């Protein structure tokens, strides 16, 4: 027993001396310098919501100069808000879409920017495939609103990316963006939407795959559109409910987590009616905080699933992202 102990001690001592001496033995067996990869894993994340599965799909990220886009705080205050959360400007912002699998239907919420905003975006279809689906399997595509970063992935060169899907959008939203006469009165920041909208929607219209809705509308069992105009004339939320679990997909109710949660009165230049958009944001934050259901949003950091709670100060709100888990299952929508 003693000899074995001494033998082990000697081996341990020899190993320590080899490392301390700077021996080249370890270097000779180590791999040569590996290349820096510089890419992330595919952008999808699954959430089990009751009997449904919701997959967040990331279209990519884009840098936004929030100190120039946000209205209601000074550029210095906005910069300070981002510094507090260790972020710099321009702010790297996610663009998120959501695929809802009800067991009977696949429903895609928004389609990303396509090729319109450069090479850092346009990854929705690739990430949908990486998540195990094909565009041909999508039964319904629902649009929160018709800004380019939400509809640019619908079609290309007149060909539908989702050939078997029915395309759903609010009637007021569709009528506004498909009418070129409205471009004269719109903000310069969103005028491109009038050019892009027909290119994206006409292929579905021609195929008999376009369906307009008005007001509170069931898209599929457990999935409901609710009108929340302000950001655009027909901006919609989509409410997803299954077995007592609830998720509300907000579209563009919030663009800047570091600024707008603590001060929901801050608006953005892309709002069609910024005062109404502010009101919608206040109500959305308050309701989510009071009722405790999950939310998802287009421009919160991917995958954007989380809860809203009132700030301890009593002023403003906090966004609480869901903790990562290998098998995320939500059994109810409350606290």
- Look up residue 83 and give its two tokens: 């510094």
CB 135 within 8 A of CB 163: yes
Instruction: Reply yes or no on domain 44-323 having CATH 3.60.15.10.
Output: yes
Residue 126 has a pLDDT of 97
Under 8 Å between Cβ of 198 and 28: no
CA distance 228 to 238: 10
CB 92 within 8 A of CB 256: no
Q: Report yes or no: 277 and 271 within 8 Å, Cβ to Cβ.
A: yes
Please tell me whether residue 138 adopts helix, strand or coil conformation. Answer: coil
Which two three-digit tokens encode residue 230?
């302000």
Question: What are the structural domain ranges in the chain?
Answer: 44-323
* Residue 206: per-residue pLDDT: 98
Which pLDDT score is estimated for 313?
86
248: CB partners within 8 A, 6+ apart? 237, 238, 239, 240, 284, 288, 293, 294, 295, 296
Predicted confidence at residue 29, as pLDDT, reads 62
Give the pairing of strands 245-249 and 294-296.
parallel
Per-residue model confidence (pLDDT) at position 326: 77
In tens digits, what is the pLDDT along the chain, a chain of 335 residues?
A: 445 444 544 544 444 434 444 544 455 565 668 888 888 889 999 999 999 999 999 999 999 999 999 999 999 999 999 999 999 999 999 999 999 999 999 999 999 999 999 999 999 999 999 999 999 999 999 999 999 999 999 999 999 999 999 999 999 999 999 999 999 999 899 999 999 999 999 999 999 999 999 999 999 999 999 999 999 999 999 999 999 999 999 999 999 999 999 999 999 999 999 999 999 999 999 999 999 999 999 999 999 999 999 999 888 999 999 998 776 565 554 44
Q: Which two tokens stand for residue 237?
A: 């939320």
Give the 3-state secondary structure of residue 71: strand
pLDDT for residue 330 = 59
| Three-class secondary structure of residue 318 per DSSP | strand
Q: What pLDDT is attached to residue 18?
A: 40
| Residue 313 φ/ψ, nearest 5 degrees | -70, -15
Q: Write down the pLDDT at residue 9.
A: 46
SS3 298: coil
Q: How many CB atoms lie within 10 A of CB 240?
A: 28
């Amino acid at each position: 027993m003693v000899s074995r102990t001494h033998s082990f001690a000697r081996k341990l001592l020899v190993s320590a001396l080899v490392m301390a001496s700077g021996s080249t033995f370890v270097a000779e067996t180590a791999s040569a310098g590996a290349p820096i990869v510089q890419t992330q894993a595919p952008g999808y994340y699954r959430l089990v919501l009751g009997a449904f599965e919701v997959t967040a799909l990331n279209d990519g990220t884009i840098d936004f100069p929030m100190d120039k886009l946000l209205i209601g705080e000074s550029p210095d205050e906005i910069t300070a808000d981002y510094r507090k959360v260790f972020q710099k400007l321009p702010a790297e912002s996610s663009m998120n879409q959501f695929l809802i699998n009800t067991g009977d239907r696949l429903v895609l919420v928004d389609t990303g920017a396509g090729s319109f905003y450069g090479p850092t975006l346009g990854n929705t279809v690739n990430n949908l495939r990486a998540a195990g689906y094909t565009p041909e399997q999508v039964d319904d595509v629902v649009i929160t609103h018709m800004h380019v970063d939400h509809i640019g992935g619908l079609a290309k060169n007149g060909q539908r990316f989702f050939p078997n899907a029915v395309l759903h959008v609010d009637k007021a939203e569709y009528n506004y963006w498909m009418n070129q006469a409205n471009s004269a009165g719109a903000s310069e920041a969103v005028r491109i939407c009038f050019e892009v909208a027909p290119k994206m929607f006409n292929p579905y219209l021609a195929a008999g795959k376009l369906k307009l809705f008005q007001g509170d509308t069931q898209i599929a069992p457990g999935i409901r559109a609710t009108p929340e105009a302000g950001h655009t004339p027909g901006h919609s939320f989509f409410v997803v409910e299954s077995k007592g679990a609830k998720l509300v997909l907000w579209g563009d109710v919030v663009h800047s987590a570091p600024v707008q949660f603590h001060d929901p009165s801050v608006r953005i230049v892309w709002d069609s009616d910024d005062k109404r958009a502010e009101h919608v944001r206040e109500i959305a934050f308050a309701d989510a905080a009071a009722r405790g259901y999950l939310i998802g949003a287009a421009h919160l950091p991917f995958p954007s699933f989380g809860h809203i709670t009132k700030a301890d100060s009593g002023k403003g709100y906090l966004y609480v992202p869901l903790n990562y888990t290998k098998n995320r299952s939500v059994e109810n929508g409350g606290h």
